[in-house]
Structure 1
């Protein structure tokens, strides 16, 4: 039996091991997945160092949303350890002023009140409308509650203080997959297209009728896509 490929799967804001659960299971015949905890640090440098300290010497790296920001930091710190890269529903650019204002408002509201996690009103920003009132929406809400308010504050601080990663794109020289949900509001397809244009030889994929969380919204499609990326 061929040796399994080390695979690190990085979650997004308010996400835990559930985000990549199906892919970790579906790919275990060819990959040895690890799912780092990104809730413990309040800056990307520390997050990346924690991942690198626990990771195999060389590994494939797949990341979603905030996990993508950590992936870029890993590439800044120790690029030689990453054998291939998959970036789902993330962006290399900094937040728009409007998005910064939204993040700061969320932080202030939590400091003066209770953490409500992902409310039903917020779900349409994270998942396609077809999932808002179904099991996927419920699992997203449960995941956010498990992560909790303290970790949310740490993660938002890390995101707000992240560097612009666009200057890094041209230096990426490993097999790279860029994928995005066609209905992603938070990191829309134009952000993915920019990364695809700047990373030579990268592959671009769009999930139909999908929002910001393809690993949960389209689990089989995501697993199939990552299998192809791992074996190419």
Structure 2
């Protein structure tokens, strides 16, 4: 009988469940071979209108009597680490993909708020091509990679982008508390990430005393879309050891 492994997936900025559209099938195929049945639930933080609502959605999905394996990507990785520190009894294990636990300094916050105001005043025409190339290294023109990023951005629109950008600007610095995370924890990043500096992944793993997995196949920030097979292999091995 296959072991049932419940995963809760938290997306990043301007993303929804389509972010996981290539990763989940790859993970389920590996699980079938290894006798693991992955049951994936998507936390729709893109529907939240405030950071408090994001936190509430995540908390509602992860109760102590329904503890699960939490996976967060980028902004979602930060939210997953924050949630694990707030409710450790509700998290069986934690995987942080392409994210940083740091807060933002005053200059960064100011720059983010200027961006928010510019977005609020103007018409949002979608993610610019140059910006997309910072997120995606391989597959910018692939409908299953860059096309998915464009589609999520177009469908979620300006309001979601403004909300997430503004609400996450004043996030706490979790670095001093990383050593408090006691559940199995893995950090996954790309050595060619142009959004979250790869040094952040090494720092996070060192401060948390946890596993670090670096993907070095040319993929950029959008690992679930750019490197689904490599990421699935890392996750399947992690859950084989920590279910």
TM (norm. structure 2) is 0.88
Deviates more, 1:169-178 or 1:1-10: 1-10
The corresponding residue for 1:229 is: 238
Do 1:184 and 1:211's aligned partners in 2 also have CA atoms closer than 8 Å? yes
1:1-232 to 2 correspondence within 5 Å?
Answer: 1-28=1-28, 29=32, 30-55=37-62, 57-96=66-105, 99-128=108-137, 130-135=138-143, 136-200=145-209, 202-208=210-216, 209-232=218-241
Do 2:68 and 2:90's aligned partners in 1 also have CA atoms closer than 8 Å? yes
Output one character per residue of 1:112-161: Cα deviation in whole Å (capped at 9) or x when no partner.
Answer: 11122311121122111x32333322221111111211111111122102
Deviates more, 1:133-142 or 1:215-224: 133-142
Specify every segment of 5 or more residues in structure 1 that has no aligned partner in the other structure, as ranges.
none
Specify every segment of 5 or more residues in structure 2 that has no aligned partner in the other structure, as ranges.
none
Q: 1:98 to 1:172 in 2, by over 3 A?
A: same
Do 1:43 and 1:161's aligned partners in 2 also have CA atoms closer than 8 Å? no
Output one character per residue of 1:63-96: Cα deviation in whole Å (capped at 9) or x when no partner.
Answer: 1111012112212331111011110110011235
Do 2:5 and 2:39's aligned partners in 1 also have CA atoms closer than 8 Å? yes
CA RMSD of aligned residues (A): 1.8
Count of residues paired in the alignment: 230
- How far did 1:106 drift? 2.5
